[in-house]
Amino acid sequence: MSYDLLVFDPEVAPRNRDEFMLWYKDLTQWGENRNYNSSEGTSGNLKAFYDRLRVYYPPMNGPEAYVFEVSQQVEPRTNKGLFAKLFGSASKQPAPKAKFDERFVTDYSIAENAIYMGFAWAIGAEAYSDVVSAAIETGVGFFDVSANNGVIMHDRDQLETLDIL
């Protein structure tokens, strides 16, 4: 079981909820002739979104997959969300590197017009905040797959109304 979120190309996905849900159901049949572990050939700003998010949420599979057997040192996580945008970073000093928390390894399914992400439940709230922030920054749409009647937002203005702090 995972905490699932979806981002999509807002120029492609239907805006009507019922039509969107039909589009989503078709999308998740995974019938495209493509490598779902690669962001190559995605539409709109999906590649920019993926490149930004995978820094802190490395993929579980594919050419950029996290290697579990190797003790990897990474930059510590910092809040890249709305709080950081409003108030800036608390410190200008570089932080020491820390061991990566493997709970952040993420299962991505990358379609032409959408990216489906499965996160560990333990980091669901943080992933939600980071995905919404990255969606705002890159101009992709957002769907909260795991929520009952989850929000579907196509525009930055809509996304900025979400409580992500």
The burial class, CB within 10 Å (0-12 / 13-18 / 19+), for 53 is: buried
Look up the domain containing 43 and give its range. 3-29+36-159
Mean predicted lDDT score pLDDT of the chain: 85
117, part of any domain:
yes
Dihedral Cα 35, 24, 140, 164, nearest 10 deg: -120
164, part of any domain:
no
165, part of any domain:
no
Neighbours of 67 (CB within 10 A): 8
Task: Give the number of domains in the chain.
Answer: 1
Tens digit of pLDDT for each residue in 45-104? 999 999 999 989 999 998 888 887 665 555 555 555 554 554 455 444 445 445 677 888
pTM of the model: 0.81
